[in-house]
């Protein structure tokens, strides 16, 4: 059975974000999403108008791979290099409200669920969606490059 581990992450995230944008009404960017930075380490808001859906797809994949994961660990994963001007650069965490809002939207859509006090996990509905998309991508990749079929 093909899983998320078997396909390239960039192709899966792009395909999943297109699916979420077109088919899941519960996941919509808030009004403030057009103006907000994704963290204190970033200098500007994202250029991509569909960045909310891409981040949602990426987070759903991370929930699948990392098991129960909370907002604080996601802030670390989506953080980056914070430039300090004349000071040395250090790591800066991502903003928590964006991640929390996306997790709540995934919960209302039925793609994620809470795991006691350990964070959130992918629900069976979300797992079947990710596995179906992964199988579809794997079939397409095998059709395009049959020499990679054994991998």
pLDDT tens column, 89-141: 999 999 999 999 999 999 999 999 998 888 899 999 999 999 999 999 998 88
pLDDT tens digit string along 25-78? 899 999 998 889 888 888 888 888 899 999 999 999 999 998 899 999 999 999
Q: Maximum Cα–Cα distance for the chain, whole Å? A: 52
| pLDDT for res 90 | 94
Domains for the chain: give ranges and CATH numbers.
4-146 (1.10.10.10)
Whether the pLDDT of residue 150 is over 70: the answer is no
pLDDT band of residue 86 (cuts 50, 70, 90) is very high
| pLDDT for res 151 | 58
H or E element at residue 88: strand 87-92
Q: How far is 47 from 42, CA to CA, in rounded Å? A: 12
Burial of residue 111 (number of CB atoms within 10 Å: 0-12, 13-18, 19+): buried
| pLDDT for res 144 | 82
Q: How far is 94 from 131, CA to CA, in rounded Å? A: 28
Cα distances (angstroms) measured from residue 108 to each of 25, 37, 40, 51: 10, 24, 28, 20
pLDDT band of residue 87 (cuts 50, 70, 90) is very high
């Amino acid at each position: 059975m093909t899983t998320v581990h078997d396909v390239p992450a960039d192709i899966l995230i792009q395909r999943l974000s297109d699916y979420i944008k077109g088919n899941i009404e519960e996941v919509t960017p808030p009004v403030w999403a057009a103006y907000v930075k994704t963290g204190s380490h970033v200098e500007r808001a994202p250029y991509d108008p569909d960045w909310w859906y891409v981040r949602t797809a990426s987070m759903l994949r991370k929930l699948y791979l990392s098991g129960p994961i909370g907002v604080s660990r996601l802030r670390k994963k989506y953080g980056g290099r914070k430039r300090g001007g004349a000071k040395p650069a250090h790591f800066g965490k991502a903003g928590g409200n964006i991640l929390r809002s996306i997790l709540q939207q995934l919960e209302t859509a039925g793609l994620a669920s809470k795991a006691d006090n350990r964070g959130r996990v992918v629900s069976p509905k979300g797992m079947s969606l990710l596995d179906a998309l992964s199988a579809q991508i794997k079939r397409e990749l095998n059709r395009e490059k049959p020499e990679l079929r054994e991998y």
